[in-house]
Structure 1
Amino acid sequence: MFFYAAKLIWFLLQPSAALLIALAGGVLIIGLGGYRFGAVLVLLATVGLLVAGFSPLGPALLLPLEERFQRVEPDGPVTGILVLGGGIDQHVGERRGTIELTEAGDRMTEAVALARRFPEARVVFSGGSAEIISDGYTEGAAARRFFRAMGLPDDRVTIEDASRNTAENARFTAALVGARPDERWLLVTSAFHMPRAMGSFRAAGWSPLPWPTDYRTRGSEDLYRPIWRPSLGLSLVDVAAKEWVGLLAYWLTGQTDALFPGPFRDPGA
C-alpha cells in the first residue's frame, strides 16, 4: 500500500508537475471568469518555473544530500558489492534488444569497476519494477544481461528482482544475502540517494560501507552559477525534492533509522 500511495502522491507533488498543473489551472480559472485567483496562480506558477528552471535551487537542494556520505575505503577483504536499481532502463532495452543505461548508469559501471578491483567479491543487484502497472520487465533481468556483457560470470552475480523501492531493496536483499557483521559490503548508489539508502539498510539490520556515485553537482561552486537549460534545472529540483520527501516519509513510517541518516549511526535511533 505504501508503494502505491507514494507513487500517486509524488506524481502530484513533484515540483515540475505541480507548477505546470497550477499554471494550467490558473489559465482555466481565468477562462471561467475567476480572474483574480486565476492570475495569482499563473503568477506563482510562472515564478516557480523560472526559479526552478534557471536558478541554482536544484544544486542547493542536492548538495547536502550528495555531501552527506563520502566513499569509505574498505580496510580488509570485500565480501560483496551491493548495487541498487535505477541505473538501467529495462523497458527501452527489452523493446530494442539492447542494454540501455539511464542517467544513473554510473551505478552499473562503478559496480563493474569495483568487481574488477575486488575479484573475490560477490555482486548483488537489487531492483525489480518501479511501475504501478508492470509490463513484466524487471531491472534485475536487464542487469543480468549487462553484467554478462561486462564479462562477469553468472555464478558471481546475485539478482534480487522483486523490490520496488529503496526500503524493499534493503529488506529483500538482507534476507536474500544474510550478511554477517564481520563481512564488508560496499553499497553503490547515487550520491544524492545514499542517505535514504543507508538509513534503509541500517533499519533492515545491515550497515554496508557507502560508495556513492552518479553525482549531479560539481560542489559548492554550483550555488553561484545560473542554469541555462531550464529542463535541467527542473530535473535537479525534482530529483532533490523526491529525496527530501522520501527521507521524511521513510522516517515517519519507520523504514529508515534516522530522519537524515549520516556517516555515523545515531545511538538513540
Structure 2
Amino acid sequence: MFFYLAKAVWFVLQPSTLIALLIGYGAILIWTGWARWGRRFVTIGAILLLVAGLSPLGNALIVPLEDRFPRADLDVPPPPTGIIILGGAEDRLVGSARKAPTLNEAGERLLEGAILAHRFPDAKIAFSGGDAGILYKADSEAEGAAALLTQLGVPRDRLILESDARDTYENAVFLKKELAAKGELDPSKRWLLITSAYHMPRSMGAFRAAGFTVEPWPVDYRTRGPEDAMRPFDKVSEGLRRVDVTSREWVGLLAYWITGRTDALFPGPEKD
C-alpha cells in the first residue's frame, strides 16, 4: 500500500506537475468569469517555472544530499565481503523490448559495481531491484543487471539477485532476507552499498532501520560540491528536472522518517 500511495501522491506533488496544473488551470479560468484568478494562477506558475528551471534551486537542494556520506575507506582491511548495487539505473521497459542494455543517468551504479567487482575478486555482488512500474510493466531490473554485469566480466556465480523490491526500504528488507538465507550476513562480513550520491542518505537510513550494516559508496554525482550550490541552469528542462529529483528525495526522507522506514530524518555518518 505504501508503494502505490507514494507513487500517487508524488505524481501530484512533484514541482513540475504542480507548475503545469497552475498554468493549465489558470489558462482555463481566463476564459471564464474568474479571469482575474486565472491570470494570477498563470503568473504564479510562470514565475515558479523560471525559478525552478533557471535558478540554482535544484543544485542548492542536491548538494547537501550528495555531500552527506563520503566513500568508505577501502584501503583499510578487511576487504569487502560483498558489494550491493541498488536498482534504478536501467529502463527495463525499453531494454526488454530492444533486447539491449538501456542505462539511464544513474548508470554509474552498475558500472562502478563492475569496477569494484574486478578490484575485489572474492567479493559477492548483490543486486536489488524489481519492477517499479505501475501503468507499464516490464521484467525485473535484476534480470537486466545480471546480463550487463556478466557481459562486463563478472562471473555469474558471484551474483546474488533480489528481484522483488520496488523501493528503497524494500531493497534493504528483501536483500537482508536473501543474504541471510545464503549465510552471507554476520558481524565479520563487510558490505558496501552503491547508489546515487543524492540517494545515499535515505538508503543508509533504510538499511540501518532494517538492521543491515553497510558502508556507503556513492556514485552518480550531479555537482562538483558546495561551489555548485549557487550555479544556475542554462536550460529550463534541466533545472526543472533537478528540482523534481531533489524534491522527491527530501520528501522521501520525511515520509520514511514518519513511517519508521529510516533511522533518522536526515541520516548521516555514524560517529566513532
Among candidates 122, 125, 130, match of residue 123 of structure 1: 125
Corresponding residue of 2:9: 9
| Cα deviations by residue, 1:135-157 (Å, 9 ceiling, x for unpaired) | 24111111111111111111101
Rounded to whole Å, the distance in 2 between the matches of 1:33 and 1:181 is 69
Query: Could you tell me which residue of structure 1 aligns to residue 217 of structure 2?
Result: 211
Q: Deviations over 1:186-206 (max 9, x none)?
A: 000000000000000000001
Question: Shift of residue 243 of structure 1?
Answer: 0.3
Residue identity opposite 2:168 in structure 1: T
- From 102, 107, 110, the equivalent of 1:108 is 110
Select which of 96, 99, 103 maps to 1:97.
99
User: SS at 1:22's partner residue?
Assistant: helix
Which AA in structure 2 matches 1:162?
Answer: D
* Counterparts of 2:234 and 2:136, CA distance in 1: 36
Q: Structure 2 matches for 1:190-229, cutoff 5 A?
A: 190-229=196-235
Kept in 1, the 8 Å contact 2:126–2:161? The answer is yes
Report the AA paired with residue 259 of structure 1. Answer: L
CA distance in 1, matches of 2:172, 2:271: 16
Pairs within 5 Å for 1:31-46: 31-46=31-46
Moved over 6 A (4+): none
Instruction: Give 3-state SS (helix, strand or coil) of 2:268's partner.
Output: coil
The answer for the alignment partner of 2:144 in structure 1 is 142
Q: Secondary structure at the match of 1:82?
A: strand
Identify which of 244, 261, 264 aligns with 2:267.
261
Partner AA of 1:258 in structure 2? A
| Structure 2: distance between partners of 1:134 and 1:114 | 33
- Using the TM superposition, name which of 4-13 and 148-157 deviates more: 148-157
CA distances 1:3-53 after superposition (whole Å, capped 9, x unpaired): 000000000011011101111011111122211221111111100000010
CA contact (8 A) 2:53 2:233 kept: yes
What secondary structure does 1:188 align onto? strand
Identity %: 51
CA distance in 2, matches of 1:81, 1:135: 28
CA distance in 2 between counterparts of 1:265 and 1:108 reads 29
Task: Show the counterpart of 1:181.
Answer: 187
Give the whole-Å Cα distance in 2 for the aligned partners of 1:71 and 1:9: 33
Q: Is the 8 A contact 2:131 2:165 kept in 1?
A: yes
CA shift, 1:265, in A, is 6.8
CA contact (8 A) 2:207 2:213 kept: yes
Q: TM-score, normalising length from structure 1?
A: 0.96
Cα gap change, 1:224/1:134 in structure 2, threshold over 3 Å: closer, same or farther? closer
Q: How many residue pairs get matched?
A: 266
Q: TM-score, length-normalised on structure 2?
A: 0.95
Aligned to 1:158: 160
Aligned residue in 2 for 1:56: 56
Please give the alpha-carbon distance, in whole angstroms, between the structure 2 residues aligned to 1:103 and 1:224.
22
